[in-house]
Structure 1
Amino acid sequence: MGPGSGEIQEEGPTGSSPSRLGGDDGTDTRDTEQLMAELPEVEIARRDLDKDVSGRKIKSVEVPGPYSMLSGVPSKKALGPKLEGHKIVSVSRRGLWLLFDLGDDLILAMDLGHGAYIRRHANKDAVEPDTVLIIQLTQTGQIRLIAPKDSEPSVVLLSSDEIEDKIPLGTGFDPAAQPIPWTDFGRLLRARGKEKLLHLLADESFIIGIGPIYADEILHSALLRYDRTAESLTIQEIRRLYRAVVETVHAAIKHRGTTLPDVDYVDVFGKPGNYGQYIEVYGRVGQRGKSGRGDVRKLRVNARAHYFCDYQV
């Protein structure tokens, strides 16, 4: 469907409603909803935590947040005795869940949901009002889970043989942990028939952990429109899309994630990401593309903003 069909409302320099480009200063007024954690940022957290807290012992646990976010313990007070005294063996990832291996067949799993984040803190640091979990280590401070309103994180205590049942993994491939050859990618893509690319990139049965920011960047890098169907792509376009997925995810990890004016991401040490300076289209409606080939435009696709350039085909 195209603009005016009901599914999509177009906004951009040549659209019917130029005022929707943004505020009086020409900037984009993007959606203020919480964005779900995307793969690069979760993988960065995993790497940082694995390096920083593996080998550290848990001294105490406090749960200022609601019991509803916990699973696997009968009460908030019961979580502390379950964890205290255990050493963090490693921090791994299953999809967008972070898994803290505590030894003795005990796993503490965290899903950040829409907008929650994990932060390392010194003991003396003031506790933010939205803090829902504090894990005190015997050395080097605390691990805190901070959950702004409506972020809805989940914390699950489970054994290793419960992981597959309680944390189901999408069948899609993980470009950060388990890259696949482009030929396998092509076969998976072609099997999706008439599914549109933007929807497909957000489908965890196809690929893990891609949300609005990186989906837009991937499609722009591949020079493909959001509404192209999987079966319509040529071999050359499949290879471009595969390369865009892998390169975008790995570049975002390399540059420590994406921080933008309305995406206030910071890493576990409180530092903003640097990938925002490489963003080509997301949130840049009305601005000239960094390649200089055209202006960034904006569509509403299934109630979400999608950013693109006219030369994507």
Structure 2
Amino acid sequence: MRSSIIKTLAVLAVALQVPPSVSAPLELIPVSTAPYVTGGGLSATWSQVRDDYRFSQQMWTEAGSDPAAIGTFGWGTGIWGTVDVAHVQSLPNDSAALIGRVNDTSAVNFANLTYNMLIGDGALGHWEYDRQRPLAPIVQQTGSQTNYAASFAGFLYIPEAGAYDFSLFVDDGFVFSLMGANGMLGMERETLAGSTNGRDLFALSASNGNTTVMMGSGYYGIEIDYFNRLEAGVIDLALWGPQDQGWRSISTDWLFTELPRNAIPEPGTLALVLLAFTALGRQARKT
């Protein structure tokens, strides 16, 4: 699920985006500099499908064959890539493929029971970021540990101007977007297909020229699509700011489902035109 505000910001970001450069520091300008109010989390939708549901559009190449969607192979059941998240989230609540759905407001810091149990007995080793985390809401509802997706959307408040970096500790895949008034930065891990490591820490700086991002104090748009296929699953959104000595998870205090009422940005004429074309295209696809 995506709020209309986030959609507007995404269009505005594309209209004003400046490509990152290794030779110059990256910079994002806040979409609003309204006074801080205590946040409550991002808007989150969790959806889970049956393990035998065959639908994935993630591409795969068998030896001697052309690329084909994983869902066309006999073994290709369940979620295989971030390309599948939109399909899972669009399933109607009464779909036979859907096990459960949870709409929530929260931080981005969850694991499934499989992950937490393996951490508890040391089976995952003792990597710095491995620790028990709150149980994913969809797992709490269904008790099932596999083939679920989550979509987070809203705003992040940055209290102090300076250099920042963002990370996601993830098992299995994700797409992350951070939006300012002058552009958008992102990072992703599209799929686990062909990978030998399902769990890792991904930094925004490493995905954008190995440099941190200069940010002013204020509000920024944020979107995350995430999935866990099988076995252990975890997602943790963290930042490294001017006063930090390491990564720290972002609490709900700095996360918002919408901007404060006096902080709604006024898009420029070009952005409004692009938004109109986007809306028309979306409507055309539905008809």
Q: Which has the higher helix share?
A: 1
- Normalized against structure 1, the TM-score is what? 0.25
- Normalized against structure 2, the TM-score is what? 0.27
**Greater RCO, CA 8 A, separation 6+:** 2
Larger Rg computed on CA atoms: 1
